[in-house]
Amino acid sequence: MKKITIIGAGMMGSALAFPAAENGHEVRLVGTHLDCDIIDGCKTKNQHPKFDRPFPKGVRYYYFEEWKTAVEGADFVICGVSSFGVDWFLNEILMNLAPSIPVLSVTKGLINLENGDLISYPDYWQAELKKKGIEREVCAIGGPCTSYELVFHDNTEVAFCGKNTADLKMMKAALATDYYHISLTNDVIGLEAAVALKNAYALGVAMTIGLVNRDLGANAGLHYNSQAGAFYQAAREMMQLLEMFKASEDCKIIGIGDLYVTVYGGRTRKVGILLGEGKTYKEAMEILAGVTLESLVVARRVAKAIYKRAETGKVDISRFPMLTHVNDVLDNGKDAHLPWDAFTFDNTK
């Protein structure tokens, strides 16, 4: 039996308590400073307020002030914060956690640098820790997985990435079940880029659903031609971007799987539909108040990086019409109607 500490009582971090505890491990779920109400509920009802079933036997709950107690003797720690908590996790946890304790992160996203480069959160953490003389590598999870379906035991395919193969194998052995299937890769930036990029592109695909509602009426039903056309362009642009990262073929394909589940089952779908229906960014945010939307952060960061690289001649911005369109809708008040003609190609001779 292993001792696994999850820091961050959001939906994805908490969902991982299910395969971990069902495998017979001791699981310690620690809330951040923002999760007090969640931990209160877990202690009272043994159930996360966003899930429809109780936690399995073997899960214990801790407030953030108790996190050092919760990591005592832990075989590894799972970072369960959103991308908005990346610096918080760095400063509050990683700076104070024994380097000998492996860390596995569920946080998806990228950070854009001034020169137009994009780096993963594990790379960002490693670089910042190194400035303080701390040597640590962080493993991460990527792939098509929504938390509530993992809790429901829907068959789920993900990948764990990291440079330390022994740690990856240990974590897989602890968490793999007959419904949670785990691949392993040392391609950290490839996997992390793939699962982060899909957030920005899922937003663009989801806009087509809202556009049908606006243009054809709320009773028009789902129209798959437009969704598929946008999905194709999203996949096309993602493949081009992932070439920049020299991502492995497996990681590219996982990114497409993650794009699919985010379009059809994620929070990004909600904001995309609202924008497609003609809501402004401000109106959409007011409607979805309280919903964590990491896709918007990723869309802006990737667009900013691509614009910067275009300025220096490293990329042709015309090859990314969906990404630039999403960015314009978010930041420049552009209508959501997609630039369909820009998605066509002519490979004739």
Q: What is the mean pLDDT of residues 81-92?
A: 94
pLDDT of 223 reads 83
User: Is the pLDDT score of 98 beyond 90?
Assistant: yes
> Residue 55 — pLDDT band, cuts 50, 70, 90?
very high
pLDDT tens-digit series, residues 258-315? 999 999 877 889 999 999 999 998 999 899 886 777 788 888 999 999 999 999 999 9
pLDDT of 260 reads 95
pLDDT of 65 reads 97
Nearest-CA neighbor of 307 among 113, 109, 111, 116?
116
Which CATH number is associated with domain 3-186? 3.40.50.720
pLDDT of 196 reads 93
| Rounded Cα distance, 339 and 343, in Å | 7
**Please, what is the average pLDDT of the chain?**
94
163 C-beta neighbours (distance < 10 Å), count: 14
Strand partners, 157: 181
> Taking the domains of the chain in order of start, what are their residue ranges?
3-186, 197-343
pTM as predicted: 0.93
Nearest-CA neighbor of 203 among 114, 310, 307, 288?
288
Please indicate whether the domains covering 3-186 and 197-343 agree at the CATH topology level: no
pLDDT tens-digit series, residues 106-157? 999 999 998 899 999 999 999 999 999 999 999 999 999 999 999 999 999 9
| Rounded Cα distance, 329 and 267, in Å | 18
Which CATH number is associated with domain 197-343? 1.10.1040.10
Q: What is the mean pLDDT of residues 3-20?
A: 97
